Structures are given as C-alpha cells and as structure tokens.
Amino acid sequence: MPGLGGSFNDRALVKNDREVTVSQQQEISPTGKLSTSTAIEFATACLQKAGARADIAEQMAKSLVYGDLFGFRTHGLRRLPYNVKQLQSGQSQGQGDVDVVQERLATAHWDAHGLSGLYVIPQAVEHAISKARDCGTATVVVRRCDHVASLAAYLHLATEQGMVISMLASTPAQASVAPFGAKGRVFSPNPFGFAVPYSPQGEANSPQRSIMFDMSFSVTAAGKVRQAYDRQESLPWPAIIAPDGSATANPASYLDEGGALLPLGGIDLGFKGYGLCLMSELLTMGLTGYGRDVGADDGEFNSVYIQVSDPTAFTSTAEFDRVVADLAQRCLQAEPINAEQPPRLPGERAWREFDRQMNQGVELDELTWPRLCHVARKLGVAIPASTAERS
C-alpha cells in the first residue's frame, strides 16, 4: 500500500515473510509482548544497525510502535524487517534532510529524497499544525518519502493540540486497485486518515480522545490481504477482482494470480471508491508533481497530502465541541440492529487498544514476533525479554 498499503512487490514480500516465520518457528516463542519504551528502543537499535541516523531511527521506531498501539498491527512493528531491508538496500535513506520545494504562509511542499515517511511525516504534520495556528488552516504535501505505514500513528499529533486533521497517501510505483468496471491494476490502495478532537460527555472512564479513522479507498488494504494469505484464510468479503472478472475473497487471487483489489464499494458500488482513488491521487500526486509518469520505478516512494485546521479560526471552541458531541451522541443513541452490538464511534476501539497496551505492553502476534527475533539476530541486536506467556 502506499506506505500503508504495503510494498509495491506484495507477492515477494509475503513469500519472504512466510519463509522467516516457518524457519524460526521451532526456536522462537510464537508471540511476544514488550513495554512501549522497550519496543521503541529495540526497533531503534535495529534501524540504526541498518544504517539510519540516530534521530531518524528513533522516530521511525516510534511511528511503527504507535501503529501497533492503536491496533493497526499490519502496519506496525510487523513492518520493521521490511524497513530494515529498505535501509540496507539504499531504497530508504537513513541520512539527510528534506528539501523545501515551495513554501507560503499556509502551504508547504517538501521533497523527502527517499527518507522514510516514518521519519518525515510526523515533522510534516507538526509543520502543518504550526502554520494552522497562524493561518487557521494549512496544507503540507510531501513527495518521495519511503514507507509511511499507518496514518493513524500521526493523527493524534494534531488532535492533542485541538486541531482537525486529514491525510492522504499514494504510491506512484504501486498499482494494485482496479478502476470501477476494469480488472487491471491502476491505483495504490490510497489510505485516508481523519481525526477531530472529542471528549465523551458523562463518560469519565472513556479512553477516547478523538474521533479518528484510517481507511483505504480499496475494499481492503494490501496488508490485510497479505495477513490472510499468511494465515491461509479467506478475506471476510469479496475484496478482489479475479483475472476472469469475478469478485473473490481468496487472497491468492491477488498475490499469486494477478487479480486486483476492488475499489471501496466492491463489485457493485465501486464507482464510489473509484472516485475517491482519483481524488486521492490527484491531491497527493498532482500537488507534488510526483505521479505515475515519473515515479513508476521508485518502489515504495510516496506522495502525501496533509491538511490541518484550527477550529478556533472559524468558531469558538465551545461551539465546535458542542457540535461534535451532539453528533457523536446521535450516532451512539441510534437504534441498534443488534442490542449487543450498538453503534460505536470511529477511534473508540483504537483508543482502548492504545491505553491497554500502554499499560500492559505492546502485543506482538505470531506473524510479528518471530520476524522481529529473526531480523535482530541477523543484525546482531539483542532480543529483548518478552513478558508474554510462553506457549
């Protein structure tokens, strides 16, 4: 996916990862659990060994760990070995700084020159926040940044400061999603992240600090397809259009047989996702001037669009909070289809996961922990003691 959706070479990545898991299975505990600080220190050490400057390695590690903390495990530390490989190959740059291509009062355009999105994007978000304080709203675009991972890892940077944020990302070299009415690949899955500050009224114990979501404009992200493939499972929905034009839930159809991801809305309503994919790539690639015509051979390099708005530039904090709370309550109080599964707000589960893992440790599943141990051994980095029960 663009940074988030997975490598431009999904098939090779899956097969390499599966080899690591199987070959290490008998000598490594299948799962692990690390404190947040230990997880960040461990990932930082691995990334430094792979060639990243100390500050770059630390921020890359934090971005991956925050993906796990919010429950986006396909885009968290599971991608550490991939980022190590990117650094070692020179595809991702471990040294250097961004260049400012253009800058105005409320806008900026950066060229990352292959620096990891895990390092560059938090800086770009903070830059947009600073501009939004002065101008009310601000847009920052970034071109040629390597792996971005989960947009959810960056949204809290804005909402913690009372800002509204929206983010888009795309990968010019990745073609995995078909336009509506076609079965050939054109788009990357193109994640969209959005968050707004929110404090539940009358819920003193609620962990939720924002309404937030991170979704792709395909029916599912490529990372979810890889996960199902690794576990030899079917997808929950027919998210793939097979080479014969039929919709299927078989991940092998995408990874082994040349099928494409369906745009959001699927085989019947995919014109909606098709339009959103176009919007995403026109905003990310169009505004950076870094599109499929020039970036087709650049691997994981992404184009990213970030917009931050300060609500107080438009209305009072009290009025804004009132509207957010009122709309949230209307959603939560809507009559449920199933009383045991009432509506919830986007971000509620992510914030619960965040607080739980901050207190109990970052959980590393059977598709993650063996790979981390394997890459640590290859790099000569000490494997931290896991607090998970051995099975």
Distance CA 236, CA 341 (A): 18
Digit-coded pLDDT (tens) for 306-340: 999 999 999 999 999 999 999 999 999 999 999 99
Domain contains 3: no
Domain contains 353: yes
Instruction: Give the pLDDT confidence score for residue 28 in this predicted structure.
Output: 64
Tally of domains in the chain:
1
Task: Give the CATH number of the domain where residue 322 resides.
Answer: 3.30.1370.60
In the chain, which residues have pLDDT < 70?
Answer: 1-28, 202-206, 388-391
Instruction: Give the pLDDT confidence score for residue 18 in this predicted structure.
Output: 44
DSSP state of 188: -
Instruction: Give the pLDDT confidence score for residue 204 in this predicted structure.
Output: 54
Integer CA distances (angstroms), 175 to 61, 164, 246, 277, in order: 27, 30, 19, 12
Domain contains 264: yes
Tokens encoding 384? 């931290």
Distance CA 199, CA 379 (A): 44
Domain contains 2: no
Domain contains 386: no
Digit-coded pLDDT (tens) for 30-69: 899 999 999 999 999 999 999 999 999 999 999 999 999 9
**3-class DSSP state of 181:** coil
Cβ atoms 158, 139 nearer than 8 A: no
* Residue with tokens 């590393």, as numbered in its chain: 364
Domain contains 344: yes
Domain contains 74: yes
Instruction: Give the DSSP per-residue string, 206-259.
Output: ----EEEEEEESBSS-HHHHHHHHHTT---SS--EE-TTS-EE--HHHHHTS--
Instruction: Extract the runs of DSSP E, i.e. beta strands, from 89-181.
Output: 99-103, 107-111, 137-145, 164-170
Element (H, E) at 172: none
Residue 162 identity = G
DSSP state of 77: G
Cβ atoms 109, 103 nearer than 8 A: yes
Cβ atoms 161, 277 nearer than 8 A: no
CB-count burial class (<10 Å; 0-12, 13-18, 19+) for 3: buried
Distance CA 102, CA 327 (A): 38
Instruction: Give the pLDDT confidence score for residue 24 in this predicted structure.
Output: 43
Instruction: Give the pLDDT confidence score for residue 190 in this predicted structure.
Output: 95
Structural domain range at position 125: 10-379
pTM recorded for the entire structure: 0.90
Instruction: Give the pLDDT confidence score for residue 299 in this predicted structure.
Output: 83
Instruction: Give the pLDDT confidence score for residue 295 in this predicted structure.
Output: 79
CB-count burial class (<10 Å; 0-12, 13-18, 19+) for 268: exposed
**Which residues are CB-contacts of 34 (< 8 A; sequence separation ≥ 6)?**
42, 361, 362, 364, 384, 386, 387
**Which residues are CB-contacts of 189 (< 8 A; sequence separation ≥ 6)?**
1, 2, 4, 5, 6, 176, 177, 216, 217, 218, 221, 222, 261
Side-chain-facing half-sphere of 74: CA atoms under 13 Å: 23
The DSSP bridge pattern shows strands 260-261 and 99-103 to be unpaired
